[in-house]
Amino acid sequence: MDNTRIVSFDDEPLILVDSRDHVLGYESKDKVHDGDGMLHRAFSVFIFNSHGELLMQQRHADKRLWPLIWSNSCCSHPRKGESGDAAADRRLFEELGLKTPLEYLYKFEYKARYKDLGTEHELCSVYIGATDDAPRVNATEVAEWKFMSRDELNRQLRETPERFSPWFKMEWKALQETYWPRIEALISRL
């Protein structure tokens, strides 16, 4: 895999939806994040290893929104004509060079503004997966990566919450409060 291949484009057509996930149309990635943002489909992937550690990534410095901020293993958007499952698999490989089965957990809507540079307004599907394979990160997408234990991650979130993306903080809370038994079951199969 080419670890410097550009895989994200401002003009890629994203899927505009309403709060019930009905498709309203399509718009470029650049435009859906302008101003107050347009509600669009997105996904977040959480990859755990057999020690129960979460693969975290620091977003690339060139990202328009939340550059150099730590977030979950992988997050992006399905493109026009692409299912959420297919998009999550594609992006996990494009960003981290990983192929592992993903399990859908839940969907939620959120809105978060980043300075005066734009807004994420997403209907986000959350997936989990597990592997002990080492990532082969795409240097155009990821600045740094590391595996973190649940305790260490919770400590850092308490002490320096500003270092983490807003969607990650919401998703991590839900994973711990509602979905942790499913995560433990997934990890136990490694």
User: Which positions are annotated as active-site residues?
Assistant: 75, 122
The candidate with the shortest Cα–Cα distance to 141, out of 9, 40, 6, 48, is: 6
Q: What are phi and psi of 72, to 5 degrees?
A: -65, 180
| H/E element, 171 | helix 166-174
CA dist 67 and 20 (Å) reads 30
With H, G, I as helix, E, B as strand and everything else as coil, classify residue 167: helix
Transcribe 84-113 into DSSP letters: HHHHHHHHHHHHH-----EEEEEEEEEEEE
